[in-house]
Amino acid sequence: MAEWSASSIPVVDLADSRGLIDAFATTGFAAVRGHGVQHCELVAMRRLLVALFAVDDAAKRRCAVQPDNYRGFIPLRFFTPNRDNGAPADAFEGYKLHWECPPGHPVRGECSLYGSNLWPDHLPEMPDVVTSWWSAMEGLADRLLIILANELGLDYEILSRGMEAPLTNVTLLHYPAKQPEDRSPGFHPHKDISVVTMLDPDPVGGLEVRTRDGRWVKAFCPEGALLINVGDVLEVWSGGRLVSTPHRVSNVAGAERYSAPFFVVPNHAVVAEPLLAPLEHFEMRSIPMGYVQSEVWRTNWPDQVASDADSHLGGIQ
């Protein structure tokens, strides 16, 4: 049986598959215990985040993202968040990593998002730390797919095949301390275009989730648990049974914040469509993964606009 925290985020053990599905169907978020990711992996990643951004701007520029390569440092307040309403840029800096595509893999020629990650000069241990942590997170993602298949009656083989050569990615994030008068958001309200997103939240806090009645509540997560939320892909696959929920980051004044959200995303060739009969209220749609993921990246650049008005790119009003 799931517990309910003060923030209305259910706290559930991974072994309680029914409780997990209930949380995903009602709030779209769960604080998950018993996830199986070793504490040492999480600690190593937390330490890496601090060391990664503790370097001068010149070093960051040497390993920065480029329009043709979505990997490396993202400068502070650089991206416009998929919107054109004149709102201020998000007050974070980041480092983008994708699934490490093996050299010679055929998908490298099929979608520009595939390739090799960049690694900064000042952290020679980073590839090993990230690879070990990534493997642990992928293992958890696969266990979640098995639970989803068993509880919803989905075909696990279909889900698993869709995760071969995935567009899974992570944004390593640093939110510098800001002054109380700074009105810039930490991260604008959005939904994730993923199957699920998994996060070891910073104890500083700041992540907020929008409830069904429109309130923003703090996403409390007990120590040792991971926050897992439903993304748009899973909402579509489930025919609306599981819900992708808007969330945002509100920077805590005077405090630095670090995080590493792990976005589980299918292969570029997957077109996500309902795998179950859609619920009556569900708005029918499909998500062509390669196109939408590429558009999300491209339209983050200040001088770019979306190619069409119909593709949902994560941002919400």
Residue spans per domain, the chain: 3-299
Give per-residue pLDDT as tens, 171-212: 999 999 877 777 777 888 889 999 999 999 999 988 999 988
> Global pTM?
0.94
What secondary structure does DSSP assign to 222-277, as a single string? Answer: -TT-EEEEE-HHHHHHTTTSS----EEE-PPTT--EEE--EEE--BTT-EE--SSP
- Specify the DSSP element, H or E, that contains 198: strand 196-199
For residue 134, pLDDT beyond 70: yes
Parallel/antiparallel/unpaired status of strands 3-4 and 10-13: antiparallel
Least confident window among 13-17, 52-56, 282-286: 282-286
Please state, rounded to an integer, the average pLDDT across all residues of the chain.
90
Q: What is the full DSSP assignment across 9-72? A: -EEEETT-HHHHHHHHHHTSEEEEES----HHHHHHHHHHHHHHHSS-HHHHHHTB-BTTB--E
CATH classification (class only), 3-299: mainly beta
Q: What distance in Å separates the CA atoms of residue 257 and residue 186, rounded to the nearest whole number? A: 10
Do the Cβ atoms of 229 and 196 come closer than 8 Å? yes
Whether 4 has a pLDDT exceeding 80, the answer reads no
**The pLDDT of residue 303 is above 90:** no
